[in-house]
Structure 1
Amino acid sequence: MLITPRSFGKYDDEPFRIMKVRGVKIVENETGSVLSERQMIDRVADVDGIIAGVDPLNEEVLKHAKNLRAIAKYGVGTDNIDLGYCKKHGIAVSITKNANRNAVADYTFALMLNVARRVTEINNGCKQGDWSKKVALDVFGKKLGVIGLGAIGRGVIHRAEGFDMQIYGYDVFHDDVFVEDNQVRFTDVETIFKECDFITLHVPLIPSTENLVNAEMLSKAKKNLVIVNAARGGIINDDDLYNALKNKQIFGAGLDVFQTKDPQHSKLLQLPNCIVGSHTAASSQGAVNSMSLRAVSNLMRDLNSSVEQEDNVAV
C-alpha cells in the first residue's frame, strides 16, 4: 500500500496499527513534499491500494499501477484523480467525507476575521515598528454569503450565528429543512455578490464552478467585500481577484488555495489585503486523526477487508 499524505497518522498511530494487524506492507512518502508524476510512477507499480493526498493520479500514473484495486482519498477533493480511468478499470475510489469539516470551517472563519480586522497586517506592522491604528471592518451583524451548503458551508453558518450575521446561501441542491431551521436566505450567486459583506466558497472544482468568481462577478460586489476560499483554487480567477484587490474594488481576500499550481510566485502574495495559507485549512490534529482512520477503513473495505465503515464513494 502506498501512502502519500505527509500528515497521515502523525498524531495517532492507530491507523498504522490497523494495517499492521492485517499484514499490510506500507510504502510511505519519504520526500517530505507532494510527489511528482514521475515519483508516483516509480512507486505505484506493485501496490494494490493507495491512500492519496493531492499527488497526481492521472492516466499516465495509473496505467503503471497494474495491481491497483482501490484509492482512498485523504480528503474530499478528487480533481487530482482520473475518475474516468478508475471507473473503466474497476478501481474503487473513496473520500473521507466530513472528516475535516470542523477544521476547515474553523479556518474559513479565522481567515474571514483576519482579513476583516486586518490582524496579519497589523501584526506585521507592529513587528516592523509601525504601531499606528488601522481601521478595519465590523463583522457582527453583517451579511454573509455561503456558496456551497455542504458540511463545511453549514459549519461556517453555525459559527456565524454567534456573530448574529444575516445568512445568504446558494447550492445546487435545496435543503428546505436546513434553510428554514437556520434562517438562510436561499438565493443565486449573483445576488450574494451584490448584497453580501462577506462571501465564503465551499463548492467542488468542476466545469460549472471553474472561474465562478471572475471580473464580472467581482464588479457587482460591495467595496467592502471580504471573500474567503478554502475550497479549490480554480473557483476564483486569480488575475481578476488580483486586479480587484489592487484597485481597492473590494476590501480583501483570504485564500488557502490558488488557481496556479505554483502559488509562491502568485502576484496575490504582494498584496497586504490578501491573507494566504498553504492549503492548510484541514490541518488540525483532530482532522488529521479522523481522515487517517477513515482513509484506512475505506481502503480496507474496498480491498475486501473486514473493516467496515460507511463513507461516500467517488466511483
Structure 2
Amino acid sequence: MKILFSVGNAFVPIHQEMVVQMEQLGAEVECLTFEQSMHPEIVKERIEDADIYILAVTKVGRDVIDCAKSLKWMIKLGTGVDNIDVMYAAKKGIIVSNAPGQNAWSVAELVIGYMIGLSRKVSLLDARTKNGSWKHSLGLELYGKTLGIFGFGTIGKKLARIVDAFQMNKLAFSYHQDEKTAESLHVSFVSMDQLFSQSDYLVICTALNQTNYHIIDASVLKKMKPNAFLINISRGAIIDEKALFDALKINEIGGAALDVREIEPPEMVPDLNNLLVTPHIGGSTIESIQRIADVTLENIHRFSQGKPILHVVKC
C-alpha cells in the first residue's frame, strides 16, 4: 500500500517514527512538508497513485480527489473534517476517518489559560512589565462567573468538568443535546440568544458547517455583556472577524482569544490590548499528538489486516 503523508507542523517531531512503523506494516510512505501541502498542485501530483492519504489541515476538494486515481482512504490527524469534501469522497468510494476526542483535553486546558489570561490581562501586563512599567491592574476572577459553551461535544464536556474547580455556572447550546451528561455535569441547556446574553465567557466549541458560518456577527456581539470574553478554539469562519475586531476596538465586549482564524495563516493580526491570538495550537501538545498518532497507526494496522477501520466519518 502506498501512503502519502502530509506532515502537519505539530507532527514534525514524531513523523519519522510514524513512518518507520507504517513501513513495518508493509507501506511505502512519501511525506510532504506543511509548506508543500499548502500547494494544491504538489498534492495533486503526489496523490495520483496513493492508496491512503494522511493529512492535517490540507484542503482536499473535488479537484484533489479527482486526481487520486487509486485512493481508498483519507485519514484526518484530528477531529474536524471541514477541510475535506467528505460527501464527494464518499461518492468516489473513498473512506474518510478521523481521531475524535484525542486532543480534547489539550484544547480544554488551553481554554482555561485563555480565560485566566484575558481576565487578568496577563499578556498585556507581561509586555508592559518587560518594557519597564510596574503598574498594577485589577482583573476579574473566574470564580462564580457563567461559562457559555457553544457546542456540547467532547471538548465542551471536558471544559465543563474542569471549571468545577472555579465553581462556575455552566450553560450550553448544542444542536445535539446530551441531557444525561449535561445533568451529571450540572450544565443547563439554553437557547442560542440566552447563551450569548448570559455568558461571562463564551467558548466556541462547535464544528463548522454551512449553518453556522459567521454566526458570531455584529448582532451577536451586541447581545453579549460589555465585560464578557469570547474564545474560539473551533474554526475561524464561525466568527465574523471584522465585526469582532470592530467591537474590540470600541470595547463593546471585554476581550477575545482566537486560536483559529478564517484564513490560516491570517493576512493580519490586529494589535489590540484586549485580544489574544495563537497559531492554532489547541491540540498541539506532546500527549495529544501521540494519541492521534497511535489511533492512526492502529487503523493502518487494521487496514493491512483487512479489519474494519475505526472512526469512519459518516456523511
Residue in structure 2 matched with residue 288 of structure 1 by the alignment? 289
TM-fit CA distance, 1:178: 1.1
Residue in structure 2 matched with residue 89 of structure 1 by the alignment? 92
Within a 5 Å distance, the mapping from 1:138-287 to structure 2 comes to: 138-266=141-269, 269-287=270-288
Q: Runs of at least 4 residues of structure 1 off by over 6 A?
A: none
Residue in structure 1 matched with residue 118 of structure 2 by the alignment? 115
SS at match of 1:26: strand
TM-fit CA distance, 1:264: 4.3
CA distance in 1, matches of 2:201, 2:249: 18
SS at match of 2:142: coil
TM-fit CA distance, 1:272: 1.4
Structure 1 residues 207 and 197: CA distance shift in structure 2, 3 A: same
CA distance in 2, matches of 1:309, 1:45: 23
1:221-255 CA-to-partner distances (Å, cap 9, x unmatched) read 11110111011001111011011111100010010
CA distance in 2, matches of 1:273, 1:28: 40
SS at match of 2:194: helix
CA distance in 2, matches of 1:300, 1:64: 26
Aligned Cα root-mean-square deviation (Å): 1.9
Equivalent residue in structure 2 for 1:2, among 1, 4, 18: 4
Unmatched segments (≥5 aa) in structure 1: none
Q: Which 10-residue stretch deviates more, 25-34 or 188-197?
A: 25-34
Residue in structure 2 matched with residue 27 of structure 1 by the alignment? 30
Q: Which 10-residue stretch deviates more, 133-142 or 117-126?
A: 133-142
Task: Give yes or no for contact 1:72–1:296 (8 Å, CA) kept in 2.
Answer: no
Structure 1 residues 299 and 210: CA distance shift in structure 2, 3 A: farther
Aligned residues: 312
Unmatched segments (≥5 aa) in structure 2: none
Equivalent AA in structure 1 for residue 41 of structure 2: R
- Percent identity (aligned): 27
Q: Which 10-residue stretch deviates more, 252-261 or 240-249?
A: 252-261
TM-fit CA distance, 1:212: 1.4
CA distance in 1, matches of 2:162, 2:179: 20
CA distance in 2, matches of 1:260, 1:12: 25
Q: Could you say which structure has the greater relative contact order, defined with CA pairs below 8 angstroms and 6 or more residues apart? A: 1
TM-fit CA distance, 1:113: 1.4
SS at match of 2:223: coil
1:155-174 CA-to-partner distances (Å, cap 9, x unmatched) read 11111110100001111112
Residue in structure 1 matched with residue 313 of structure 2 by the alignment? 313
Confirm or deny that 1:58 pairs with 2:61. yes
Structure 1 residues 79 and 67: CA distance shift in structure 2, 3 A: same
Structure 1 residues 260 and 173: CA distance shift in structure 2, 3 A: same
Q: Which 10-residue stretch deviates more, 103-112 or 14-23?
A: 14-23
Equivalent AA in structure 1 for residue 75 of structure 2: A
Within a 5 Å distance, the mapping from 1:64-75 to structure 2 comes to: 64-75=67-78
CA distance in 2, matches of 1:155, 1:55: 27
